[in-house]
Every structure is written in C-alpha cells, then in structure tokens.
C-alpha cells in the first residue's frame, strides 16, 4: 500500500514498491486533473505492456509530476526501466527498445527535420532504459527521481520526495 502524500502533494522520500492498480487509484482516481491523468495512465499501461513483452523481468521507476498532486496537470510520466545487462547486450532486444526510449536531438532525413526531444507514446511517456545492478548508475537515477521540481521545472534546493517502483 502506498503511503499518504506529504502536505506538499509528494510521496514521502524513498522508493515505494507498488502495483499498477495502486498507481491508478492514487494518481488517477484520487488525484486532481483526473481526465488528463487517465490519458497518461493509459499510455503508461500500454508502455509497460510493451516493455514486459520485450524484457521478461525488470523494474520500472516511475516519477515526475504524475506522481504528485501539483497544481498544474502533469505533462507526461517519467519512467526509468531497469533491465538485465545481459538482455541489453542482445542487439534484437536493444532494437526493440528504441521506440520506447526518449531521444534527444533527433534528425530526420526525409523530410528534413530536427526535433530536440522525441518521447514514446506521442510524448506522454518520458522513457529511459538503464542496466540494472550498477550501484553507481542506480544512485544517479535515484538522486534524479528524488529531486523536487517546481511548476517552472526548477529544482527546489534541499527538497526530496519519493518515487514508485513496479517489478515484474
């Protein structure tokens, strides 16, 4: 069971093991901006189904404005997939994960187009894939997912919050 949110509308500090049903209950059904959050949750559900179809085991660290009760609606759902490094070494697995990752500075040849940020699920997911088991790399992501951002996207100095983990 997920803990109650802080008075500021964030999860208490730490990584909170949860299920998709609990996420839907707390961050869609009981949250502000329900209609918009429903769309984000549908994208997250489909995204997770696609990831699980590629990776037989793993974990998803879920974060961002979606995991809070900020005054403005969340723009997307931030997801870091922790995957077995042996699976990530497989070129077929890597190629299947490409459309599920957020890409920066994308250049398209025909027609010529430059995109600063290309996100999965029509921009509803901000998706990353990282090798599991690298303590230093996981600490970097834990630190990133624990930062509190204001509505303008600025880091709130000294503030920390929690995030979600779904394991399959």
Per-residue pLDDT tens digits of the chain, which is 168 residues long: 999 999 999 999 999 999 999 999 999 999 999 999 999 999 999 999 999 999 999 999 999 999 999 989 999 999 999 999 999 999 999 999 999 999 999 999 999 999 999 999 999 999 999 999 999 999 999 999 999 988 788 999 999 999 999 999
Q: How far apart are CA 64 and CA 146, in angstroms?
A: 9
- Tell me, what's the pLDDT at 153? 84
CA distances (Å), origin 72, targets 27, 37, 151, 152, 156: 14, 11, 7, 10, 16
Block residue for tokens 């049903």:
21
Of 147, 144, 141, 145, whose CA–CA distance to 159 is shortest?
Answer: 147
- Tell me, what's the pLDDT at 152? 84
- Which residues share a beta bridge with 81? 60, 129
């Amino acid at each position: 069971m997920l803990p109650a949110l802080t008075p500021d509308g964030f999860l208490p500090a730490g990584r909170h093991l949860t299920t998709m049903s609990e996420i839907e209950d707390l961050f869609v059904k009981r949250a502000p901006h329900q209609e918009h959050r429903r769309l984000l949750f549908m994208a997250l559900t489909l995204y997770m189904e696609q990831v699980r179809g590629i990776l037989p085991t793993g974990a998803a660290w879920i974060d961002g404005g979606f995991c809070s009760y900020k005054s403005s609606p969340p723009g997307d759902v931030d997801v870091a997939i922790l995957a077995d490094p042996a699976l990530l070494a497989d070129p077929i697995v890597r190629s299947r994960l490409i459309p599920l990752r957020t890409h920066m500075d994308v250049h398209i040849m025909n027609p010529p187009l430059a995109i600063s940020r290309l996100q999965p699920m029509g921009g509803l997911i901000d998706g990353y894939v990282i090798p599991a088991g690298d303590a230093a790399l996981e600490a970097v992501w834990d630190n990133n997912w624990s930062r509190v951002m204001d509505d303008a996207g600025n880091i709130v100095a000294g503030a920390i919050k929690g995030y979600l983990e779904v394991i399959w």
